C-alpha cells in the first residue's frame, strides 16, 4: 500500500509539474514561406508569401515559427511584419538569403524590412541568415532618398542573433521607440566609402543591448540618438566607420535627452574616431552618465576621442582603460572636447579638456 501511495504521488503531482517546467506538449506551429508560394530563386518577388506566412504566425494562438529556409535566395521588394500578435512567442528562423530588388524596383519607402508593434519576437539566423540590401546601386546618388534595411519600431522584448546584414543603401538597423531589445552576433558589412550607412541607429528607446558583433560601415558603427536611455554596447569590433557615437543630438532645434549609455570592451580598426559625442552648437540637449571603457585599436583620423557637447554640457562622462592610437605610426592620436564634464582614467590619448 505504501508503494502504491509513492507511485501515486510521483505520477499525480511530480511529473505534471516537471512536464510544465519542460514545456512538454507545448505546440509550435510551423509556417514555412515555401508553403505560402515563395519560389526562393532570387528573381521572383516573394514578398506576398512572406507577408502571408507572417500573418498566420502572428494570428496563431500557440508558439509559432516562421521559417525562411537555408539554401534558398528570396527577393522581396518590401516587407512589413506588423503586430500586435495573438501570441508573444514568435520565432523567425531566418537561415536563407534575402536580397533587395534592383534600384528601379524600389517604391517610395524609408526601410526595406519593418517590424513594428510586436512583443516577444526572436529572429535567429544560426550563422546562415543573410540580408543583402544591394546598396552599391544607390551609393553614387547622394541626392536620392535611400532606404535602410531593417527598422524595428515600437517593439518590446526583441531578440535578434546570428545574422549577416550587408550593403545597405543607408542605415543597416534602426531601433525606434523600442523597450527591451538584444542584438547579438550580428555581422554588418558595407564599404567604408558607402555614405550614411550606420550600423545601428537607436532613437527613443530604452534597455537596448548590442554585443559580440562585427560592424563595418561608411558611418557610425553605432549611433545613440535622442530619447535613448540604458543602452549597452559590449565587445563590438568596429571599422571601417566613424566609431561609436552618442548623437548627433539637437538637430533642427530638437530638445534631446540621452542618459545611461555604457560602451565597453570594443575594438576599433582604423575608424575615424573611437568614442564620440556629437551635439549641435546651441541646442537644448541633455547628456549624462555616458561610460566608455576598455577600448583598443586605431584611429584613421588621429582624433581618437571627440566629446563635442552643446552649451548645456555633458555630465558624468567616464573614460577608463582605453588605448586608441593613430593608424599613422608617425602621428600621435589626440582628443577634443567642449563642455564635457567627467573623469578619464588610464586612457590613451590623454583628455586634458575633460573637466571634473
Q: Is residue 8 part of a domain?
A: no
Q: How many CB atoms lie within 10 A of CB 104?
A: 6
Residue 13 has what pLDDT?
A: 42
Nearest to 242 by CA among 289, 275, 284: 275
Instruction: Count how many domains the chain has.
Output: 1
C-alpha distances in angstroms, 187 versus 18, 204, 212?
38, 24, 9
Cα–Cα distance, 313 to 341 (Å, whole number): 7
Q: Rounded to whole angstroms, how far apart are CA atoms 209 and 46?
A: 32
Active site residues: 242
Q: 222-224 and 244-249 as β-strands: parallel, antiparallel, unpaired?
A: parallel
Position 3 in a domain: no
Q: Is residue 318 part of a domain?
A: yes
Q: Kindly state the cell numbers that stand for 163.
A: 545574422
- For cell 552643446, name the residue: 310
Q: Which of 338, 342, 343, 344 has its CA nearest to residue 308?
A: 338
CATH of residue 236's domain is: 2.160.20.10
Any domain includes 10:
no
Residue 2 resides in a domain: no
Global pTM reads 0.91
CA distance 139 to 170: 8
Question: The cell 532645434 sits on which residue?
Answer: 253
pLDDT of residue 110: 86
- In order along its 356 residues, the chain shows pLDDT tens digits of 444 444 444 444 444 443 332 334 457 899 999 999 999 999 999 999 999 999 999 999 999 999 999 999 999 998 999 999 999 999 999 999 999 998 866 766 689 999 999 999 999 999 999 999 999 989 988 788 899 999 999 999 999 999 999 999 999 999 999 999 999 999 999 999 999 999 999 999 999 999 999 999 999 999 999 999 999 999 999 999 999 999 999 988 888 999 999 999 999 999 999 999 999 988 899 999 999 999 999 999 999 999 999 999 999 999 999 999 999 989 999 999 999 999 999 999 999 999 88
Q: Is residue 6 in a domain? A: no
Q: Which domain holds residue 160?
A: 29-348
Amino acid at each position: 500500500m505504501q508503494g502504491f501511495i509513492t507511485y501515486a504521488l510521483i505520477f499525480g503531482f511530480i511529473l505534471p509539474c516537471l512536464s510544465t517546467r519542460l514545456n512538454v506538449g507545448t505546440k509550435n506551429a510551423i509556417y514555412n514561406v515555401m508553403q505560402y508560394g515563395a519560389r526562393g530563386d532570387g528573381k521572383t518577388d516573394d514578398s506576398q508569401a512572406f507577408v502571408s506566412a507572417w500573418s498566420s504566425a502572428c494570428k496563431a494562438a500557440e508558439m509559432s515559427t516562421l521559417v525562411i529556409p537555408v539554401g534558398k535566395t528570396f527577393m522581396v521588394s518590401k516587407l512589413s511584419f506588423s503586430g500586435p500578435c495573438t501570441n508573444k512567442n514568435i520565432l523567425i528562423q531566418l537561415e536563407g538569403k534575402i536580397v533587395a530588388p534592383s534600384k528601379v524596383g524600389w517604391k517610395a519607402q524609408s526601410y526595406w524590412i519593418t517590424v513594428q508593434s510586436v512583443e516577444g519576437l526572436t529572429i535567429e539566423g544560426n550563422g546562415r541568415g543573410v540580408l543583402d540590401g544591394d546598396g552599391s546601386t544607390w551609393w553614387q546618388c547622394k541626392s536620392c532618398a535611400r532606404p535602410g534595411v531593417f527598422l524595428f519600431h515600437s517593439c518590446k522584448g526583441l531578440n535578434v542573433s546570428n545574422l549577416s546584414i550587408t550593403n545597405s543603401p543607408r542605415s543597416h538597423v534602426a531601433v525606434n521607440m523600442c523597450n527591451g531589445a538584444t542584438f547579438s552576433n550580428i555581422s554588418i558589412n558595407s564599404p567604408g566609402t558607402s555614405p550614411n550607412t550606420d550600423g545601428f541607429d537607436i532613437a527613443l528607446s530604452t534597455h537596448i543591448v548590442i554585443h559580440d558583433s562585427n560592424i563595418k560601415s561608411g558611418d557610425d558603427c553605432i549611433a545613440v540618438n535622442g530619447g535613448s536611455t540604458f543602452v549597452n554596447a559590449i565587445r563590438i569590433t568596429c571599422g571601417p566607420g566613424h566609431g561609436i557615437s552618442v548623437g548627433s543630438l539637437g538637430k533642427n532645434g530638437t530638445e534631446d535627452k540621452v542618459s545611461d549609455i555604457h560602451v565597453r570592451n570594443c575594438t576599433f580598426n582604423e575608424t575615424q574616431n573611437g568614442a564620440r559625442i556629437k551635439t549641435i552648437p546651441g541646442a537644448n540637449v541633455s547628456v549624462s552618465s555616458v561610460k566608455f571603457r576598455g577600448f583598443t585599436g586605431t584611429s584613421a583620423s588621429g582624433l581618437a576621442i571627440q566629446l563635442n557637447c552643446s552649451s548645456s554640457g555633458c555630465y558624468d562622462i567616464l573614460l577608463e582603460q582605453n588605448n586608441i592610437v593613430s593608424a599613422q605610426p608617425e602621428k600621435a592620436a589626440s582628443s577634443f572636447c567642449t563642455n564635457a564634464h567627467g573623469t578619464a582614467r588610464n586612457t590613451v590619448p590623454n583628455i586634458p579638456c575633460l573637466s571634473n
